[in-house]
A and B are shown apart, each in its own frame.
Chain A
Amino acid sequence: MSTAGAELLRVENLRTYFHTRSGLMRAVDGVDLSLDAGQTLCLVGESGSGKSVTSLSIMGLIDGRGEILKGSRIAFQGLNLLTAGEGTLQSIRGNEISMIFQEPMTSLNPVYRIGDQIGETLKLHRHQMSDRQVRERIIEMLQLVGIPAPERRLGDYPHQLSGGMRQRVMIAMALACEPKLLIADEPTTALDVTIQAQILELMKELRQRLDMAILLITHDLGVVAEMADEVAVMYAGRVVERGPVKEVFESPQHPYTEALLHSIPILGMTQAEPLRVIRGMVPSPLNWPRGCRFASRCDYTFDRCLEEDPPLLAAGEQQSACWLCESGQRPAVGVHA
């Protein structure tokens, strides 16, 4: 479905496990993704589905307790990041791939002025720039993300800014080196809806202007519909469905995607239409169930689901990890048809 061209990122069989006191936590357990240059891929899922750990794995930010298993592959422009040396990684991180987080207050350093924090990235990756050029670039970036009077804002500390402004500073910092890939982990979840609208509009505008790809992690299906070209739905450490956003929303192929789309109230809906309930709870990553991990909550479960774990199967324009899709697309189960 790509219009923008070459494949930028490919994740294959990513498995990231954590050794915890309660046992081995298989947070990400065989994830496949791909993202073309200039495109936006939304990674959707509920808490505990492994979407954040997937993004942290791509950034190489898994700490000592975590382990990315052998056989996992994360290729950025053809280069496997998991086998690349620390030097190569440092030249890519913050430069060609950068990341913004949900909570801008905890991601910004409270004791440094925002100008210096943006400048830090530039000084690390753009050694040839003079101090004056760095300063000019910082002002340019603050202007780009819509911070008024940037010359005066340079010297502000994070606590002097509102939540929306802080998220803009985070974005300015992430984009200072014009990355080819921006990973945004729930970038608007902590913000009010009118501020969220500002940030989403800003991200759309910058995506076009800088021609970058975005990997957007969110639980908000409204944000997905608005931002995504492609979508990957995660459940219990796996991608259970992926495909172009329109197709996934109009004809979800995995029962989990279908149930998720039916369980949220849409603006203007009333109690006359009861919300679909997904019974039970997400299973624990300490002990994933055998067979399909959604089987115990699924309306369509049959014997095979409890025995065998379905791989991602081709279903029309999508792929779905559901045995119902073994012979291609399921009959239309549109949500808003």
Chain B
Amino acid sequence: MTLVEETPTTTANKPPAAPTAAREGRRRENLAGYLFMSPWLAGFVLLTAGPMIASLYYAFTDYNLFTPPQWVGFDNFTTMFHDPRWQKSVQVTLTYVVVATPLKLLLALAVALLLAQKRRGQALYRAAFYLPSLIGASVSVGFVWRALFSDHAIVDRTQTVLGLHAGGWIGNPDYVLYALVALTIWQFGAPMVIFLAGLKQVPPELYEAAAIDGAGPLRRFWSITLPTISPVLFFNVLLESIHAFQVFGSAYVVSNTQCGPADATLVYTCYLYQKGFKESQMGFAAAMAWTLVIAVALVTAVLFWSQKKWVHYENETEAAK
């Protein structure tokens, strides 16, 4: 790397210095750029791009780690689409994404709106609400969740008082996924912090002007707040849904490593893990992984396409004026 610091002695003794020196300078900038980038470049090639290609290849093979991969064409995909447990895992994952993501974001936005008011202790509340986002994915909290949602524990007792006699959610296939949803919603702090930063950017004059024009709080939220924070909302929706598709650790721990009972929390990656690392069906697991990539890419594409309709960027409104 010391190369970068050396002065270009080679060009110094050549008479037509100006254009060569400029080209030399550019060449050195290129070299410096790629040298600084080299860790990332190596990582990208060896740990991202290369493995992606390898995984695409495995998806079309029968591969158990111990014998070389055998090309089987689309067999893995055909088997997968007809596999009732795969279908179940898709259903569980979609339910989880569709229920947990909007609820988490709604709560995050509601609490952000509350905290956006300048009050005493506001920073303290903000910090406290953020804490679950840091610990929520740990095995420890997974255990705590199992305990809280067990028979006779707090959630069971509370719902009994309210007249619902369902027992603990953990052992009940109809409810256990919602214990996982609750754990996800509990971690609303991270999107909340992003919403709060967005809310700070809303110019106060807009509210004052709207208030003078007689706009009520709902109207002001709908016509001023929401459009202004729509880029932040878009970012949160995109990131949270992509993450939700990939949930693993919490599901695995909360359901006691079984992703059940009765496959009730068999989220997509849980099944992928079972197939790949418990049953050594690497080809099948790779086919599952690529299907997930395509699904996530589709969701991302739809979100990006839809943003034209509902996301307002500052520069655009400036240009429109």
Partners in one complex: no
Q: Which residues of A contact B (CB under 8 A)?
A: none
Measuring CB to CB, which residues of chain B are less than 8 angstroms from any residue of chain A? none
